[in-house]
Amino acid sequence: MNLTTHWMQSDWCKALGWTFVHSLWQIAAIGLLLYIILRLIPGRSAHIRYTISTMAIWMIVITVLSTFIIMLPNSNSVTEISGQVILVKIAEAYTLTDRISMWLENRMPMMLSIWFGGVIILMLRLAFSLLWVQYMRSVAAPLIPVQNIVNDLIHRLQIRIKPLVSESGYVSSPVTIGHIKPVILFPIGIINQLNPQEVEAILTHELAHIVRRDYLSNLIQSFIETIFYYHPVTWWISNKVRTERENRADDLAISWCGDHVGYAKALITVQEMELGNAPSLSIGFASGKGAMLARIQRILHIPYKNHNQMEKTVLISLCSLFFLGFTLNSHTIQDQKMKRLPHRQKL
């Protein structure tokens, strides 16, 4: 108990707490910037949109980590005099920002405890998902006829990675699992309901994910989500990454099979057969109904809107949170510097 109390009152805990507070406006600012950039990039440019959205995810990590380092006390800058460190306290009237800062600092232990508890729960969920993926892989039955088709596609497209093809009762639509030794899983019996062109369309899509190492990217992205789960913008950016990842895979698959109409029909067929959600961490061929409609409209070159009223609401919230956080940030950064500023004092 004493150890926990000591840590909660330590400089590391305070630095982590203020990092948490500043991440609220920082992530909002990154989301606002991404929103503006994506509005300027055509929806057809999936590769560019995916790259920029992925950069936004990593920008969150880098920004928050940098803030934590800045917030840490700088022991080298403190001058010791007669075995004591003399710090300057500036007496001034408390402003509204001061009151907010004090209120936040008093509640940092509680905020960090809630955040840390959520991280543990989501980490356990992520670990369970990894174990579940391995279990599905171990009990899946080889699908020899489709494996032969995959082998032909790999040879024709000159792909170095050779995935296994199996069928499983634990998936409701074709998915890819694994990074080093990827496996394409089909639901049991779905092959009998698909024609050869539809099977090839599905396989080219999954091969596109494998070539682009999307399973590993999705795994890392899921890990980042567990750390920054508390911010809605994190999930919004993450959703953009996954949307553009599917669009990018669609573009590559269509360039391989050369039939965008047949590819769209395969999407519709699989969507109609889907009985449930894809397992967590898997990279699937099908999507949710709204996302699937947008993908089909995009593939068939039908004009569609890539934003909605919800995104407009999010944009307004982002602007408000950004300016509020920026005001608080300018005060707390200055306050941190003044508290750490050493002054020599003649005795």
Q: Establish how many alpha carbons lie within 13 A of residue 11's alpha carbon, considering only the half-sphere containing its beta carbon.
A: 10
Query: Which of 233-237, 285-289, 324-328 has the highest average model confidence (pLDDT)?
Result: 233-237
Whole-angstrom distance, CA of residue 258 vs CA of residue 95: 65
Q: Which tens digit of pLDDT belongs to each residue from 147-199?
A: 999 999 999 999 999 999 999 989 988 999 999 999 999 999 888 888 999 99
User: What local confidence, expressed as pLDDT, does residue 74 receive?
Assistant: 66
Q: Which tens digit of pLDDT belongs to each residue from 10-65?
A: 777 888 888 998 999 999 999 999 999 999 998 889 999 999 999 999 999 999 99
Q: Which tens digit of pLDDT belongs to each residue from 310-323?
A: 555 555 555 555 55
Q: Backbone phi, then psi, for 173, in 5-degree steps?
A: -155, 160
Residue 291 pLDDT grade (very low, low, confident, very high; cuts 50, 70, 90) = confident
Q: Which tens digit of pLDDT belongs to each residue from 72-126?
A: 876 444 444 334 444 444 444 556 566 666 766 776 788 888 999 999 999 999 9
Low-confidence winner among 69-73, 124-128, 141-145 (lowest mean pLDDT): 69-73
Global pTM reads 0.81
Instruction: Say which residue, 287 or 263, is predicted with more confidence.
Output: 263
Find the mean pLDDT for residues 118-144. Answer: 95
Q: Which tens digit of pLDDT belongs to each residue from 220-250?
A: 999 999 999 999 999 999 999 999 999 999 9
User: What local confidence, expressed as pLDDT, does residue 52 receive?
Assistant: 97
User: What local confidence, expressed as pLDDT, does residue 82 receive?
Assistant: 37
Residue 308 clears pLDDT 70, i.e. is over it: no
Give the domain ranges of the chain. 2-122+308-340, 140-299
Q: Which long-range contacts (CB under 8 A, 24 or more apart) does 303-311 make?
A: 304/43, 306/38, 306/43, 307/39, 311/35
Whole-angstrom distance, CA of residue 308 vs CA of residue 310: 5
Identify whether the C-beta of residue 248 lies closer than 8 Å to the C-beta of residue 212: yes
